[in-house]
Amino acid sequence: MSTILIVDDNEDMCQIISDVMKAEGYMVEVAYDGKSAMNEIQTMAYDLMILDYRLFDCDGLVMLEEAKRAVPLLNTIMISAYGNEPVKERARELGACAFFDKPFAVNDLLKVVRKALGKNQGAERD
């Protein structure tokens, strides 16, 4: 079973995404800030991270870069209400497999999650 980490400082957004992913059979953990997310990544193997670009304690691109350094094969989908083209391009350069602008259709996110998890089951740490 695939495990997903949702990182967003908006609790309602986390709950919505979490409920959808759990209904699909995924194991889900939630972190509301970058520090907690990095602790999670360092203590548990996640197959996918859904990461908000703007967190109250850090920049999502910095978080993505640190996460990829810790777990190079970690699939990551970024979400944001503030995603302009330079941000999206940088996210792709850092290894994000997709970027969703808020608000987004949860079914569209789910399709990308399924595709990402089908490619690489179980990211490994260095």
Residue 1's pLDDT is 87
Query: In angstroms, rounded to a whole number, what is the distance separating the alpha carbons of residues 8 and 60?
Result: 9
| Per-residue confidence band for 12, with pLDDT thresholds at 50, 70 and 90 | very high
Q: Is the confidence at residue 124, as pLDDT, over 80?
A: no
Cβ within 8 Å of residue 74, ≥6 positions away: 41, 46, 47, 48, 49, 67, 68, 123
Average pLDDT on 1-13 reads: 96
Domains of the chain, start order: 3-117 (3.40.50.2300)
Over residues 58-76, the pLDDT tens digits come to 999 999 999 999 999 999 9
Query: In angstroms, rounded to a whole number, what is the distance separating the alpha carbons of residues 80 and 17?
Result: 14
Considering the entire predicted model, what is its pTM?
Answer: 0.92
Q: Is the confidence at residue 125, as pLDDT, over 80?
A: no
Query: In angstroms, rounded to a whole number, what is the distance separating the alpha carbons of residues 27 and 13?
Result: 17
